[in-house]
Amino acid sequence: MSESDLNRSADADPTRSADDHDPYEKALAAWRRDARARELPRETVEELEAHLRESVDALVRDGAAARLTPVEALGVARARLGELDGLREEFVAADRGAVWRGRLQWMVTGGLAFAAVPILASTAGWLAVLVGRTLGAGDTVLPMLYVLADVNVLALALLVVVAVVRGNAGGVVDRLDRAAALARRLLSSPGGVVLACAGLVAVVLVQRLTYLLALPTLTARLDAGGVGRLLTTRGWIDFVQLVAVPLVAVALLVALRRKDDRERRALVAE
């Protein structure tokens, strides 16, 4: 393709619109959801969507005499691109490991989020106790405050899950999808995993600190935070969970990355 062609196809995009109610954008969003539902990687869906948009531009421009609307042109562009099921098969055949790499990354992301939510909920609980105590709440009210705050954070997490399951209300799925993509990009490098684990440890430390501050007396604080607690079975289970889960995550992702890195180094060496 010549330079002038390149410039022409880089012209302003007449069909893109920020309006969510635009039928063309809606149809594209539906296609995107279908594609994502077939486990096509986000980057691939983005690439194919760029292809569809460019095809639609060309069809509307060249088919001006036929008065093709963008939505009609999208139908043609989709037909030329091919059925999503067939596309998925071609992509899977081209890279057998990709589907499982994607699933594993989701599992690790989910695992870390799953580990973080109860800790965050507990932090909220102890924070409520701390505030309650400062305001002079009695011993009967404090446990209630804890449960209230703790349950609220869990409920919030549950609401997020429900919102995802119920559909794309207010574009929440797209937004969560973007957040998940960010998390996955972070978790696809060993450094990112270490960062995520450090974040998890920081969350735990904040939770412990809030808990200790919420305890009424110095003796109780020393008791709860002291060496004695680590020596109980429960203490060890907590410790192993805290260290082992991130370690397994790091090991898995490093193993996944190693092959890619080797290939990249071979490429740079050329």
List residues binding other proteins (CB under 8 A): 1, 5-6, 9-13, 16, 43-44, 46-48, 50-51, 53-55, 80-82, 86-87, 90-91, 93-95, 263, 266-267, 270
Quote the least distance from Cβ 1 to other proteins, whole Å.
5
Quote the least distance from Cβ 95 to other proteins, whole Å.
6
Closest to other proteins by CB, 19 vs 47, is 47
Give the Cα separation of 52 and 55 in Å (integer): 5
* Burial (CB count <10 Å: 0-12, 13-18, 19+), residue 206: middle
The tokens for 93 are 């055949």
Give the Cα separation of 168 and 264 in Å (integer): 38
Closest to other proteins by CB, 20 vs 263, is 263
At position 58, the amino acid (one-letter code) is: A
Closest to other proteins by CB, 87 vs 245, is 87
Closest to other proteins by CB, 82 vs 143, is 82
Closest to other proteins by CB, 3 vs 139, is 3
DSSP state of 171: G
> Among 247, 177, 237, 204, which Cα is nearest to 115's?
204
> Among 177, 190, 135, which Cα is nearest to 33's?
177
Quote the least distance from Cβ 186 to other proteins, whole Å.
18
Q: Roughly how many angstroms between the first and final C-alpha of the chain, as a whole number?
A: 28
Quote the least distance from Cβ 6 to other proteins, whole Å.
7
Quote the least distance from Cβ 49 to other proteins, whole Å.
10
